Structure 1
């Protein structure tokens, strides 16, 4: 028996195949999660005695409601992840602000510091930054 020669996959085909495998894995994980949620809900209903109270017929009628709750759960999970991402962005911004504040002297605002840093090599009249005023008085550069 002869075998067909193997054709090497180009990058595009390989990437598409990887995407298909990733999607298959995501679908399988979703099916497992859905099954686990349904089993958990069924166990909770049975433990509460709801199924027997309705003559044992409530389980099939409750599946759509359980699936709706699972979809809501997925939506809230996605929203939580977006909030967590935003919290990370805000924490990074806070770190940047703390670093900026650490380089300021007492009573100095960021605008005056930025203005002075733009022209601190030669002192400039009207600059509110104390080092720039001192440099004008002594005639030296405002950098230390």
Structure 2
């Protein structure tokens, strides 16, 4: 885990969804020491089970539609079927690749990723209930 070992940062972001991870990376690029607390996988709901996997499944459905409508383009295909299993696998692969990209950008920009549940505990303090069960308090001028 890159970052400050004393638990003090310039900025703490609770949640690594699209707003959180972009803000964390940009703040780090601007020279702030940043911690991002996330209970689940990097990228939040949108990247992991919401927007991104849904759009990947939609793309698969659109491809099937295009193929079925291909005769007007000279593509003759009969009995086109759709197997949801491989489409779901592809949607997971897309989400996994993007999540790995967020992790890479966190490491590259020295954003500290804390796995756990973040709870505001007063001015400048966030209590992190870590995945392993430990609890620690981190501090920052900005949350």
Q: Same fold (TM over 0.5)?
A: no
Per residue, is there more strand in 1 or in 2? 2
TM-score, normalised by the number of residues in structure 1 = 0.31
Find the structure with the greater CA-based Rg: 1
* Greater RCO structure (CA 8 Å; 6+ sep): 2
